[in-house]
């Protein structure tokens, strides 16, 4: 036998031995797997697979703001989940999307398979990524995470990886119609323990102090339309930062929301002018339609940029994040479909040093605020959270609602999301028949519409 044949025979022997060992290991794995399945079958003997039996939307407006909650019921008696689907500007279409479509589509689906349910529901409408359908999907998704937490007897943040901080740091709103009033609000917030404040003068775009516009004198537009004077807003914001810094010191972190209401060149100049006052972030300086301007903005200023509350589509946020054009992602998680996609956004941000700053205004239900906080507790690249205002009325409708203490959100540590819904209390505050939501109706001096 020559050397080549000897090596060949040796290799065949080794292969046979390895295959034999693999076979033994494979048999052991199969045996263990079978034992696990038998134990699970014995524990659930006589119980049907856990399935969705009903999906319904519940609307309430305890403070005149339409809040939409999705309730997912299962074939396990008493086991249900709750999710936030609030889109107040189009609340009734969300109600229809849930009650007329998801209710039929989701019945019979496996409650455990959250990702699968999300994907199949997302694509079911064929056309996707709109705010109405995304909010309906969010309500379903958050409710399924609520159920999974209840079944596991754990808060949702445990299922997302556990805590990376003891509580959720927040910023609070300190806007007003005069600089002196804003300063007083900031000082009061500091006394309450807040370390971050958002400052606005005269509302978004300073519409409350912009005066009487020419378009109204000419009888153009609607009486309800608001006026924004760009110069008043830009100069007032510069003066505001200067005076608040002077009066309140350097320790307090200051945020500001442009709300996409100025032209890109004005937004860039404003950020450059505010840089000396060290803002924590400037929010939404550009609209989603002007996404590519973020590249130039990043080159012009070191001011941290927060962006995203108007984003619905992954193609809107991936480019600014992966190019490091923004510092904080401000997505409204029900606008993109719930916890499942929000966790993917947060993980994406971790690779590009983009921190989370989820949108958390008054038109988010306490369930939605709790969902924000569960993600905030779990992800490493958390930045800041907009503080909710949990009134007694809200807490009566939503037992277990998160609370804010010393500037931190503290959640109910109960299994699941930790927030319940008192449906009888919710019924006392029906949503209005007409939904005009006129705060978005803003015009320039000559009547040109300004996008919020």
Q: How confident is the model at residue 411 (pLDDT cuts 50, 70, 90)?
A: very high
Mean pLDDT throughout 93-97?
A: 96
Q: Flag whether 70 is in a domain.
A: no
Q: Which range is least confidently modeled, 46-50, 94-98, 250-254, 359-363?
A: 46-50
Q: What is the pLDDT of residues 132-160, one digit of tens each?
A: 999 999 999 999 999 999 999 999 999 99
Structure tokens at 442: 């803003």
Q: If you average pLDDT over every residue of the chain, what do you get?
A: 92
Among candidate residues 252, 233, 38, 72, the one with its CA nearest the CA of residue 151: 72
Q: How confident is the model at residue 29 (pLDDT cuts 50, 70, 90)?
A: low
Catalytic residue among 171, 204, 233, 311: 204
Question: Is the CB of residue 109 less than 8 Å from the CB of residue 52?
Answer: yes
Q: Which residue has the tokens 């199969």?
A: 30
Q: Flag whether 215 is in a domain.
A: yes
- The conformational region for residue 402 under phi > 0 = left, psi -120 to 50 = alpha, else beta, is beta
What CATH number does the domain containing 166 carry?
A: 3.20.20.120
Q: Is the pLDDT of residue 418 over 50?
A: yes
C-alpha distances in Å from residue 255, one per residue of 34, 303, 305, 328? 57, 11, 10, 12
Q: Is the pLDDT of residue 48 over 90?
A: no
Residue 14 has what pLDDT? 45
Q: Is the pLDDT of residue 96 over 90?
A: yes
Mean pLDDT throughout 325-353?
A: 97
Element of type H or E holding 264: helix 264-274
Q: How confident is the model at residue 34 (pLDDT cuts 50, 70, 90)?
A: confident
Enter the pTM of the model.
0.90
Q: Flag whether 254 is in a domain.
A: yes
259 among known catalytic residues: yes
Residue 40 has what pLDDT? 58
Q: How far apart are CA 442 and CA 450, in angstroms?
A: 5
Mean pLDDT throughout 277-301?
A: 97
Q: Which residue has the tokens 């700053």?
A: 357
Q: Flag whether 84 is in a domain.
A: no
Q: Is the pLDDT of residue 7 over 50?
A: no
Q: Flag whether 124 is in a domain.
A: no
Mean pLDDT throughout 358-376?
A: 97
User: Looking at the DSSP assignment, which residues form a beta bridge with residue 416?
Assistant: 155
Domain that holds residue 176: 158-415
Catalytic residue among 173, 259, 332, 374: 259
| More confidently predicted of 180 and 9 | 180
Q: Is the pLDDT of residue 254 over 80?
A: yes
Q: Flag whether 358 is in a domain.
A: yes
Mean pLDDT throughout 93-120?
A: 96
Mean pLDDT throughout 409-413?
A: 96
Question: Is the CB of residue 225 less than 8 Å from the CB of residue 442?
Answer: yes
Domains in the chain: how many in total?
Answer: 1
Q: How far apart are CA 411 and CA 417, in angstroms?
A: 9
C-alpha distances in Å from residue 78, one per residue of 71, 72, 74, 170? 12, 11, 8, 34
Mean pLDDT throughout 272-293?
A: 97
Q: How far apart are CA 410 and CA 101, in angstroms?
A: 35
Q: Flag whether 251 is in a domain.
A: yes
408 among known catalytic residues: no
Mean pLDDT throughout 81-108?
A: 95
DSSP 58-112: EEE-TTSS-EEEEEEEESSTT-EEEEE---GGGHHHHHHIIIIIIHHHHTT-BTT
Q: How far apart are CA 8 and CA 217, in angstroms?
A: 97
Q: Flag whether 19 is in a domain.
A: no
Mean pLDDT throughout 346-354?
A: 98
Q: Which residue has the tokens 């300063």?
A: 183
Residue 1 has what pLDDT? 45
> Coil, strand or helix: which one is 375?
helix
């Amino acid at each position: 036998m020559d050397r080549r044949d000897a090596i060949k025979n040796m290799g065949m022997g080794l292969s046979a031995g390895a295959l034999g060992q693999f076979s033994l290991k494979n048999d052991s794995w199969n045996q263990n797997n079978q034992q696990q399945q038998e134990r699970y079958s014995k524990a659930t003997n006589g119980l049907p697979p856990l399935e969705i039996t009903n999906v319904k939307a519940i609307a309430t407006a305890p403070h005149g703001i339409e809040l939409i909650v999705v309730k997912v019921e299962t074939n396990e008696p008493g086991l249900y989940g709750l999710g936030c689907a609030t889109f107040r500007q189009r609340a009734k279409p969300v109600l229809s999307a849930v009650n007329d479509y998801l209710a039929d589509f989701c019945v019979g689906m496996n409650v455990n398979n959250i990702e699968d349910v999300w994907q199949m529901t997302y694509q079911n409408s064929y056309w996707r990524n709109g705010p109405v359908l995304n909010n309906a999907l969010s309500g379903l998704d958050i409710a399924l995470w609520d159920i999974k937490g209840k079944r596991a007897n754990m808060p949702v943040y445990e299922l997302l990886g556990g805590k990376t901080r003891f509580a959720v740091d927040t910023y609070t709103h300190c806007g007003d119609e005069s600089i002196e009033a804003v300063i007083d609000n900031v000082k009061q917030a500091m006394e309450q323990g807040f370390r971050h404040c958002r400052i606005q003068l005269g509302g978004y775009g300073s519409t409350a102090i912009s005066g009487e516009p020419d378009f109204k004198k000419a009888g153009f537009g609607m009486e309800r339309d608001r006026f924004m004077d760009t110069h008043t807003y830009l100069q007032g914001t510069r003066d505001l930062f200067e005076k608040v810094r002077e009066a309140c010191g350097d320790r307090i972190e200051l945020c500001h929301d442009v709300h996409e209401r100025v032209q890109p060149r004005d937004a860039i100049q404003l950020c450059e002018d505010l840089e000396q006052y060290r803002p924590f972030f400037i929010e939404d300086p550009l609209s989603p339609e002007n996404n590519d301007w973020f590249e130039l903005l990043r080159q012009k200023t070191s001011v941290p940029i927060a962006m995203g509350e108007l984003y619905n589509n992954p193609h809107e946020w991936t480019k600014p994040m992966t190019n490091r054009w923004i510092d904080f992602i401000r997505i409204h998680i029900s606008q993109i479909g719930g916890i499942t996609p929000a966790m993917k956004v947060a993980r994406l941000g971790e690779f590009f040093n983009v921190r989370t700053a989820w949108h958390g205004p008054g038109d988010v239900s306490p369930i939605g605020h709790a969902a924000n906080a569960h993600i905030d507790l779990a992800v490493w690249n958390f930045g800041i959270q907009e503080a909710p205002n949990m009134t007694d009325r809200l807490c009566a409708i939503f037992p277990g609602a998160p609370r804010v203490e010393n500037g931190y959100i503290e959640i109910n540590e109960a299994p699941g999301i930790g927030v319940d819904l008192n449906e009888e209390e919710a019924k006392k505050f029906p949503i209005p028949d007409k939904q005009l939501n006129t705060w978005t109706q803003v015009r320039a001096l000559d009547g040109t519409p300004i996008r919020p």
